[in-house]
Amino acid sequence: MDTDGYLRELYRIIDSMDQSLVLSQLEGLSPRIRTVLRFLEQNASDETGLGGPAGLVRMHPAALSRKMHRELRNLGCYLSLWDYRDMLRLRSARRAFRSDPLLECKEVAALVGVSPRTLRRIFKRYTNSSPEDYRRSSYARRKS
């Protein structure tokens, strides 16, 4: 499976999970990585660099990134810190569109903490569609 296909499948799994069932609940993660994942889950809309989560666990940002990648890879999950944050943002955006399909893309982008351009990039990468297409399909489903 190619990288994009893997990421789409992984997103589909994460999107179907209950809010409380997320990566921070996985067994086999160190307390530091679990703390960082919880931080991302609670603050996915914040535009922080690696410094925020790294400072939280008192690690250098590059060391944190390597440690997280290594621990998740050992569990069979080939996901970066930023991929996970983007997936959480995408899940929030899709929920916003489902709850109110009349929301504009720029409103949803602001709600999840990204620019409209970044929201389009995230949608395209993980769903292979645009936020506008998703909004239209949510509206059509709601009308029927």
Q: How far does CA 24 lie from the centroid of its chain?
A: 13
Q: Do domains 3-84 and 90-143 have the same CATH topology?
A: yes
Closest CA to 79 of 128, 18, 14, 25: 14
Domain boundaries, the chain: 3-84, 90-143
> Which tops the pLDDT comparison, 2 or 135?
135
Class of domain 3-84 (CATH, top level): mainly alpha
Closest CA to 36 of 77, 12, 74, 69: 69
Give the model confidence (pLDDT) of 42-79 as tens digits: 887 776 666 788 888 999 988 998 998 898 888 887 77
Give the model confidence (pLDDT) of 35-51 as tens digits: 888 888 888 777 666 67
Under CATH, domain 90-143 is a member of which superfamily? Homeodomain-like (1.10.10.60)
- Give the global pTM: 0.77
